[in-house]
Structures are given as structure tokens and as C-alpha cells.
Amino acid sequence: MDVTEAHLAMNTLLKKSAIEIMSLNGENLLRAIDLKDAEKASKLDEEGRLVFNAIRAAGNVGIWTKDLKKKTNLHMIVLNRALKLLEQKHEIKAVKHVKFPTRKIYMLFNTTPSSEVTGGAWYTDQELDTDFIDSLKAACLKYITARSFPRNETVRDAVFGADHEHYPTATEVRRFITESRISSIELSVKDITSLLDVLVYDGTIEKKSPFAIGMEDFSDEEDGDENVQWSYKAVRKTTSRLPVEALTEVPCGRCQVFTFCSENGPVSPFNCEYFKVWLDW
């Protein structure tokens, strides 16, 4: 096919809206359009087609009327007329963006809004579903706590050794949540990870690196981030047995005969009664 023929063909297809011109990296490229959409577009008048194509190009993110006006260069009244017509024909629909609830955003009728627009798993009807989040957080915490400490009836507050490698990962937590059917919607590993991050910031669990301590070629740039499986361990909330203020915890701090006490005297550290009591925990 020679150049003139190719040009002619391209122009015809462009007029029929079967292909469109895109600009990528400074070059102009041609892209084929779904025939169904092309058919719809060709039935519209010129303005309607402009609007329809611009909305289609916005995909599942949708386009704001202000941006639509800039892109199509149409007068507000003409634009609104075209939008009304397209809406009546059920070719486009108005959607609400969680971040910008007052903006008038449009997308093609059959497109599912992206999670950025709907807020994803954590939003229900444009509102942050705090009850849902709270109950999920509690469930995750319970599971993680159950796996963070060994079940040992004889030793109170037992802990695993420092080399214990089986603290739950986000994937395992997700499996637990899915199996327990607490959530009516499906949650991805990314969703669970964000939830676990909230728990980390709450101070109820801690994140453990999957790498053994001592590995030094651990770059901070997380390229292969997807494969890094962090583990999560519950933080034990006990009344701390570390002395709040050492000098008052030690019996000497509250001893009435402190000044009298000396190494070889009648009262000395060796035969101190308070120490006997204190050390017998």
C-alpha cells in the first residue's frame, strides 16, 4: 500500500471513529477503537461524538466536566446539551468521586469505576465505613495475637525465641479473613496490608522484616516490593515490669534506715530484709 492510499484509509477510518490518534512520548500513534463504540459514536452529531470520545478515553477514572470543556473546547451550554442527550441514551453515566464529591464526573455507561473513584474496599456509598474497618481490624489482631505467642499453660506470658520464623504474613492473615467470612466483599492482599499498617501505627502489632538479621545488602529501594513478605507480631500489652524509676523501685530508695546501712554494720545489704522480699519474685 503506498502512502497516499494509507492516508486515505486512515482518514476514512478516523471520520468513522473506528480509530483515534493518540500522542505517546511525543509521537502520534493510531489506536483502533472497539467497533461497538465506534458505531455508537458515528450515530451522534459532531459535538456528541467529541464528548463521547473524550469520555471514553477517560476510561474507568472518568472525566470532570471542567476538563471535558477544556478538552472539547465546547461552550458550556452545548456541552451540557450533549451530556444530557448521552445520559438519556444511557451511553454515559455520572459518578461520584470519593475525594471530590461535588465534581460532576462522567464515564461510559458500562464501565466500572476504578477503586480510586469509589474509595475501594473501605468506602461504602462515598463514606468511610468505619464499623467495617474496626471489626476487620479486631479480627486481624485476634488472629495475629493467637499466632504471636506460644500456648504454654505452665509459663505465664511465654514468648517465642528470637529465631521464630512463623509469625503470620499478610497473605496468611488474608486467608484467615476470607475463610472466616467476616467481610462480604473480597479483600486483596494490598487491602489487608493497608489494614495491618493501620494496626502497626496503632501500636498494637509490629512489623517484622522477613530477612535474617545481619543481611546487609538490603537496599532501601523496594523494586521487587511485591515479593517482600513482612510478618506481623502482636505487641504484648502488659504492665511493664521494667522499673519506672529505678531508684524508687530498688528498696534502698524507700528505706528508712538508708543512711544507717553500711557494709559491716548491723544493717547491711547482705542481711537486708527489704531486699529479701524484693528479690523473691
Partner 1 sequence: MKFLEVDSLDVLNTVFRWETVEAILTGRIEAYSCKSAGSDKKLFKQIENKYSVDLSGGSISPDDYLHTIVSPFGRLDESTPRKTFFYLLATLNAAFPEHDFGDVRPDQFSKQPSPEMVINSVNTTLFNLGNDEIVNKYRMWDTLDEIVDLSECDVYSYNPDIEDDPMNDEEGYLWSINYFFFNRKLKRMVFFSIKSER
**Using the rule CB under 8 A, is 183 a contact of partner 1?**
no
- Residue 83's contacts (CB-CB under 8 Å, 6 or more residues apart) are 51, 65, 92, 106
- Rule CB under 8 A: choose which of 16, 71, 81, 96 binds partner 1: 96
Are 251 and 275 a contacting pair, CB within 8 Å? yes
**CA-to-CA separations, 152 to 114, 141, 156, 159, 246, in angstroms, rounded:** 48, 20, 7, 9, 31
CA 33 to chain centre: 33
Which range binds partner 1 by CB under 8 A, 45-53, 62-70, 181-189, 257-265? 62-70
Angle in degrees, CA 33, 36, 38, rounded to 5: 50
**Using the rule CB under 8 A, is 65 a contact of partner 1?**
yes
Minimum distance, C-beta of residue 101 to partner 1, in the bound complex (Å) = 6
Residue appearing with cell numbers 501505627: 201
- Which residue, 64 or 160, has its beta carbon nearer to partner 1? 64
Minimum distance, C-beta of residue 84 to partner 1, in the bound complex (Å) = 10
**Using the rule CB under 8 A, is 76 a contact of partner 1?**
yes
- Residue 190's contacts (CB-CB under 8 Å, 6 or more residues apart) are none
Minimum distance, C-beta of residue 83 to partner 1, in the bound complex (Å) = 11
Which range binds partner 1 by CB under 8 A, 38-46, 100-108, 206-214, 219-227? 100-108
- Which residue, 94 or 138, has its beta carbon nearer to partner 1? 94
Are 139 and 182 a contacting pair, CB within 8 Å? yes
**Using the rule CB under 8 A, is 99 a contact of partner 1?**
yes
- Rule CB under 8 A: choose which of 47, 60, 61, 69 binds partner 1: 69
**Using the rule CB under 8 A, is 88 a contact of partner 1?**
no
Residue appearing with cell numbers 500522542: 23
Measure the CA–CA gap between 204 and 197, rounded to whole angstroms: 10
Give the torsion through C-alpha atoms of 265, 270, 271, 275, to 10 deg.
Answer: 130
- Which residue, 80 or 114, has its beta carbon nearer to partner 1? 80
- Rule CB under 8 A: choose which of 21, 34, 35, 101 binds partner 1: 101
Find the binding residues for partner 1 in span 102-141 (CB under 8 A): 102-104, 126
Instruction: Give the interface with partner 1 as residue ranges (CB under 8 A).
Output: 64-66, 69, 76, 80, 94, 96, 99-104, 126
